[in-house]
Amino acid sequence: GDSVTQMEGPVTLSEEAFLTINCTYTATGYPSLFWYVQYPGEGLQLLLKATKADDKGSNKGFEATYRKETTSFHLEKGSVQVSDSAVYFCALSPDQAGTALIFGKGTTLSVSS
């Protein structure tokens, strides 16, 4: 079945460092891809998304490109801040019919000043 694999955490960085969190997926169709973020004490919220191959999603300085050839959707940010400390989840939606998202296990990011 469809699945998402993302890199194990925790990821610990200093402020202004470059961030990459790897995500790869397995899907039989043409999924949409997402990154969700969960800040401490808050609910999950959408960070960015891409609905077709070669699309780039971006938000708050984060970017991810939908790579069909490598079945990847890696999250990147050029300069992280302490406020980026959170758990990041990669997810896919298998189709356009509104069926449920499939999530990866999450990667904890901790940024220190």
Partner 1 sequence: DTGVSQNPRHKITKRGQNVTFRCDPISEHNRLYWYRQTLGQGPEFLTYFQNEAQLEKSRLLSDRFSAERPKGSFSTLEIQRTEQGDSAMYLCASSPRTGETGELFFGEGSRLTVL
Q: Which is nearer to partner 1, 49 or 77 (CB)?
A: 49
Among 19, 102, 109, 111, binds partner 1 (CB under 8 A): 102
Closest CA to 77 of 58, 92, 54: 58
Peptide bond between residue 94 and the one before it cis (omega within 30 degrees of 0): no
Asked whether position 112 contacts partner 1 by CB under 8 A, the answer is no
Beta 11-14 vs 107-112: how paired, if at all? parallel
Residue 72: what residue type? S
Among 12, 26, 81, 96, binds partner 1 (CB under 8 A): 96
**Range 14-73, binding partner 1 (CB under 8 A):** 32, 34, 41-46, 49, 51
Q: Which is nearer to partner 1, 52 or 82 (CB)?
A: 52
Phi, psi for 86 (deg, rounded to 5): -175, 180
**Can you tell me the distance from the alpha carbon of 62 to that of 78, in angstroms, rounded to the nearest whole number?**
8
Per CB under 8 A, residues contacting partner 1 are: 4, 32, 34, 41-46, 49, 51, 89, 91-93, 95-96, 98-106
